[in-house]
Chains A and B, each alone.
Chain A
Amino acid sequence: MAAIFELFFTFAKIGLFTFGGGYAMIPIIENTCVENKKWITDEEMINMTVIAESTPGPIAINCSTYVGFKQKGFLGAVAATLGVILPSFCIIFLISLFLDNFLSIKFIASAFCGIKCAVGILIVDAAVKMFKKMKKTVFSVLLTAAAFALLLAFDIFSINISSIILLIAAAVISFAVCLITKAGRADEK
Chain B
Amino acid sequence: MIYLELLLGFLKVGFFAFGGAYAAIPFIREVVLAYNWLSDEMLSYIIAVSESTPGPVMVNMATYVGASQKGLLGSAIATLAVVLPAFVIILLVMVVFRSLLKNRYFRAVIGGLQAAIIGIIAATGVYMIYKNIFLSGGGFNTDFVTLAFTACIAIIYFPAKKLLKKNVSPILVISVCAVAGVFVFGF
Q: Which residues of A contact B (CB under 8 A)?
A: 15-23, 25, 50-62, 65-66, 69-70, 74, 77, 81, 84-85, 87-89, 91-93, 95-97, 99-100, 103, 106-107, 109-131, 134-135, 139-141, 143-152, 155-156, 162-164, 166-167, 169-171, 173-175, 177-179, 182
Q: How far is the CA of A178 from the CA of B108 in the complex (A)?
A: 6
Size category of the B interface is: 35 or more
Residues in chain A near residue B20, CB distance under 8 A:
21-23, 58-59
Which secondary structure dominates where chain A touches chain B?
helix
Q: Measured between alpha carbons, how far is A40 from B73 in the docked complex, in Å?
A: 35
A19 and B113 contact, Cβ closer than 8 Å, known pairs A58-B58, A77-B87: no
Complex Cα gap A119–B44 (Å): 6
Least CB separation from A18: chain B residue: B54
Task: Contact check, B105 vs A93: say whether CB atoms are below 8 A apart.
Answer: no
Check B4 for interface membership: any CB of A closer than 8 A: no
Residue contacts A-B, CB under 8 angstroms, 8 given? A58-B24, A61-B87, A66-B90, A89-B79, A96-B75, A127-B22, A130-B22, A152-B127
Q: CA separation between A9 and B128, bound complex, in Å?
A: 38
Contact pick for B119, options A110, A147, A182, CB 8 Å: A147
Determine how close the nearest CB of chain B comes to the CB of A180; give it in whole angstroms.
11
Instruction: Specify which chain A residues have a CB less than 8 angstroms from the CB of B176 in the assembled complex.
Output: 118
A164 contact from B12, B63, B68, B167, Cβ within 8 A: B12
**CA of A77 to CA of B113 in the docked complex: distance in angstroms?**
26
Bound form: Cα–Cα A85–B87 in Å = 12
CA distance A116 to B154 in the complex (A): 13
Name which of A17, A54, A169, A171 has the most chain B CB atoms within 10 A of its CB.
A54
In the complex, residue of chain B having the shortest beta-carbon distance to the beta carbon of A91: B53
The answer to whether the Cβ of B94 comes within 8 Å of any Cβ in the partner chain is: yes
Bound CA span A117–B131, Å: 10
Across-interface contacts of A96 in B (CB, < 8 A) = 63-64, 67-68, 75
Q: Known contacts A22-B57, A120-B132; can you find 16 more A-B pairs with CB under 8 A?
A: A18-B54, A58-B56, A65-B87, A66-B94, A69-B94, A87-B54, A109-B185, A111-B186, A113-B181, A120-B126, A123-B122, A130-B118, A149-B123, A163-B30, A164-B12, A174-B113
Contact present for B93 and A156 (CB under 8 Å) = no
Answer yes or no: B121 CB below 8 A from chain A CBs.
yes
Q: A55-B89, A143-B112 are in contact. Are A21 and B58 (CB under 8 A)?
A: yes
How close is A120's CB to chain B, nearest CB, in angstroms?
4
CB distance from A51 to the nearest CB of B (A): 6
Given contacts A115-B174, A135-B111, A146-B119, contact A57 B17 (CB under 8 A): yes
Min Cβ gap B65→A in Å is: 9
